[in-house]
Amino acid sequence: MKFLLLPCCAGLLFGQGTETKPKVEDYEVHAQAQNLAIGAEFTVHSYSRGEQMFIAKDFLVVEVAIFPPKGETFEVHNADFTLRINGRKPLLDTQAPSAVVAEMDNPQWRQRGGLTAQGEAGVGPGGVIIGAPPVNRNPFPGSQPPGTATYPPVEIPRDNPSGIEKEKVNPDELLLQTALIEGLHHTPTSGFLYFPFRGKMSSIKTLELLYRDVVLKLR
C-alpha cells in the first residue's frame, strides 16, 4: 500500500487545480449559484494540462470553475457536485482523486473484459533486406569496400519533428495536481471532477451536473 500512498500524498501537497479562465462565460456551460458563478466543461474521459492529456477510462470527467464575488471567501467540497444521467436516479457521486489513481494503477479492479494493448510491431529501424548479402571483396576481415557500407535510416518522430526531448509527465501526478482542490478559496478556482462510469457513452442522452440547487446541462 505504501507505493500508492506516497505519490498520492505528494500530489495532494502540490495540487493546484487547472488554469482558471478569466470569466465564467468562457466555459461551455455556466450558471449562478446564490453568490457564486459556476462554469463547467464535460471532457468525457480526459484530463489535461497544456499539451499533456491522459484518459481516465472508467470515469466521466468534468472540469468545473467557481467564481466568487470579489474579495469574498468561499468553501469547495467535491461532495457538493453530483452527476445525473438521462434524468434518472441514482445520481453519480464524485470519486476522490487518490481513489481514481489507485483504481487506474490496478487494472484488475477496472478492466472486466481483459487488457487492451496498443503498440507497433516491426523488425527494427533498418527494415528487412531481401536477397543475398553484399559480397565483401575487401581482403581485410571485417571491413567493407568503399561505397558498400549501409546505415539504418534516421527516424523522425511525427509528433516531435524537432527531436528535442520533452519533459515526461506522470499521469498519476497530473491527475492529482489538476483535480479540484477542496477547502477555502479567496480567488476563482477550477479543477477536474471524476465520476465512476463503466457504461457506453452512446447510452448517455442527457448529462447534468448538479451543484447544490443549480443544474448545469452538459449534454
Q: What are the pLDDT digits (tens) for 62-82?
A: 999 999 998 899 999 999 999
Q: Which residue has the cell 524537432?
A: 162
Q: Which three cell numbers mark 80? A: 457538493
Across the beta sheet with 189-196, the strand order is: 29-33, 36-42, 59-67, 189-196
CA atoms of 21 and 142, how far apart (whole Å): 64
Other residues' Cβ atoms within 10 Å of the Cβ of residue 84? 18
What's the pLDDT score for residue 15? 63
Higher-pLDDT residue of 108, 47:
47
CA atoms of 170 and 177, how far apart (whole Å): 11
DSSP readout, 140-165? Answer: STT---TT----PPPP--TT-TT-PP
84 contacts: CB under 8 Å, gap ≥ 6: 91, 92, 207, 208, 209, 210
pLDDT exceeding 70 applies to what percent of the chain? 65
> Would the pLDDT of 115 be above 70?
no
Mean pLDDT over residues 10-25, rounded? 77
**Residue 34: pLDDT band with limits 50, 70, 90:** confident
Q: Which three cell numbers mark 72? A: 469574498
Residue 66 amino acid letter: I
Q: Which of 109-123, 126-140, 203-217 has the lowest mean pLDDT?
A: 109-123
CB 186 within 8 Å of CB 7: no
CA atoms of 209 and 112, how far apart (whole Å): 27
Q: What residue spans define the domains of the chain?
A: 2-109+168-217
CA atoms of 178 and 48, how far apart (whole Å): 8
CA atoms of 40 and 23, how far apart (whole Å): 12
CATH topology for the 2-109+168-217 domain: Immunoglobulin-like (2.60.40)
The count of residues in the chain is 219
CB 177 within 8 Å of CB 16: yes
> Would the pLDDT of 61 be above 50?
yes
Higher-pLDDT residue of 19, 212:
19
Per-residue pLDDT tens over the stretch 174-210? 999 999 999 999 999 999 999 999 999 999 999 999 9
What's the pLDDT score for residue 212? 85
**Residue 27: pLDDT band with limits 50, 70, 90:** very high
CB 27 within 8 Å of CB 40: yes
Per-residue pLDDT tens over the stretch 143-182? 556 555 555 665 666 766 655 656 688 999 999 999 999 9
Q: Give the helix/strand (H/E) hosting 5.
A: helix 2-13
